[in-house]
Amino acid sequence: MDYRLSGQRIFLVEDDLMLGESLSEILQAQGAEVNWHKNAERVMSCLQTSSYDLMILDIGLPKISGFELLAQLREMQQDLPVLILSARDMIQDRVYGLDLGADDYVLKPFDLSELLARVRVLIRRRCGRAQSKIKVGEVCLDPNAHQVFYLGQLVNLSRQEYRLLKLLMENIGGVITRDGMEDLTRYSSCMDQEKGIYYYRNYNNNRINAIDMHKEDLDATEIKVFPYLETQDINYQN
């Protein structure tokens, strides 16, 4: 299998059952996660609650055309790359689709290798725009949209919660100081769930720091900063 699209989330809107099923299987074989819809009716609501890297859009959809859906998408200032798939080969249709905001226009029937190459180009181009998304495990933070997604689902955060999460995700394995700068040292940690004690140690010193989570205000809105200490012992910080 080829995993060059590994981790990419693709939204496919195609009413042709045979083509939609084939494209889904091919993209998944490339490592992508595919959400396939056969019409445009629920697309906008899905895009408001989930994050995607690319949309492949058919024009000849029932009820709401691909052109109408694309116009709605751009009216909502969605910058999701859109690749149009269409049997309409008139130059007017291609120009109209691109002017509406499509990033590419591929005619049916198409060569599969060319389609996949165009998909990869659009995803690479998106990664190069502004600031790339930050992904840690199943959490994805989009700095451009100021949104956070977990397992592809939108997570509602306050402005302060978003800023704190962004800071932490940008400094994985570091210690955040009062000025928001990272001390470039990695650390190991463990949790005694029975006693509620959280232990962590920086790799470049022997001090083990311990935090009693029962004494912590877990609903606090301010960031609590502990001093960086280097002595060799166990330091109970609260």
**Domains contained in the chain, CATH given:** 9-129 (3.40.50.2300), 139-236 (no CATH)
pLDDT band at 123 (very low <50, low <70, confident <90, very high): confident
Question: Per-residue pLDDT for 107 more than 60?
Answer: yes
Q: In this structure, what token pair is assigned to residue 197?
A: 């004690």
pTM: 0.56
CB crowding 42-74: b at 16 or more within 10 Å, else e: ebeeebeeebbbbbbbbbebeeeebbebbeebe
Question: Per-residue pLDDT for 26 more than 90?
Answer: yes
Tally of CB atoms within 10 A around 84: 24
pLDDT band at 42 (very low <50, low <70, confident <90, very high): confident
pLDDT band at 237 (very low <50, low <70, confident <90, very high): low
Sequence-ordered alpha helix ranges (H) in 11-103: 17-29, 43-49, 66-75, 91-100
Question: Per-residue pLDDT for 183 more than 70?
Answer: no
Picking from 191, 203, 198, the residue whose alpha carbon sits closest to that of residue 230 is 203
Across the chain, mean pLDDT equals 78
For 213-231, what is the mean pLDDT? 61
Question: Per-residue pLDDT for 185 more than 80?
Answer: no
